[in-house]
Amino acid sequence: MKLCVKNLSFSYGFYSQLFDHLSFEVEEGECLFIGGANGSGKTTLLRILAGLQDFSSGNIHVERAGKFFSRFPREYLQTESNGLFCHLSAFQNLRFWLDTQGQKVNLDTLSKEACEWGFTNPFVFKSLAVKRFSTGMKKKLSLMRVFLSEAPILLLDEPLNGLDETSCHLFFKKLEQLKERKKIIILSSHGRLGLCEKVISHKLFLSSFEEARRVE
């Protein structure tokens, strides 16, 4: 299976072309890093891939066993929000998202995963409303949702925002595990690659407006 983007163009009106004829492919078990300065279109590109934003022209599809699919299951981690239900607990949030996907919730697996991400206090994980969580805790919970999902394509927009050093290390470890599970991972960041380098298969740098684009 591979995600193919061909000749993708997007502009906000006539004068602000964000990207033009952008093409790339990501195969299963690969991780694409999208870099670039603020305003270069990283979030817009991920929103387009998530199906949340229309694009001017081009084609996005998944190729699987010689067949092409324009609609495909994916998980999206937003940068500015976490997609959580703030009145519910962390456990209730995770259970809901996994239930909607038909994934059987194993309490032990969830608790183990939660402990790994630093939710060691059962009261905090099972009973405390998410609205009382810090920014980092919300981000970690959101990452848990994405990582536990069985969707084959993961779109992570600025996943390191708000995370502490330990959580960043855990994030990179989890990325490696996801690659082994043959997931297609696309993540964006405005910098701070650090330990991420070794899990990245391809890099795509978006430049603001008319500057050249560089794909490695």
Under the rule (CB under 8 A), what is the footprint of other proteins?
50-52, 73-76, 78, 80-88, 92, 96-97, 99-104, 129-131, 138, 150-151
Amino acid code (one letter) for 42: K
What tokens does 115 get?
A: 């402990």
Output the smallest distance, CB 44 to other proteins, in A. Answer: 14
Query: Nearest to residue 18, comparing CAs of 45, 58, 37?
Result: 45
Output the smallest distance, CB 67 to other proteins, in A. Answer: 18
Query: Nearest to residue 118, comparing CAs of 82, 156, 144?
Result: 144
- Taking a C-beta distance cutoff of 8 angstroms, is the pair 149, 97 a contact? yes
> Which is closer to other proteins, CB of 120 or CB of 127?
127
Output the smallest distance, CB 86 to other proteins, in A. Answer: 5
> Which is closer to other proteins, CB of 66 or CB of 102?
102
Output the smallest distance, CB 14 to other proteins, in A. Answer: 25
> Which is closer to other proteins, CB of 30 or CB of 75?
75
N- to C-terminal Cα separation, the chain: 21
> Which is closer to other proteins, CB of 143 or CB of 196?
143
Cα(199)–Cα(24) distance, rounded to whole angstroms? 18
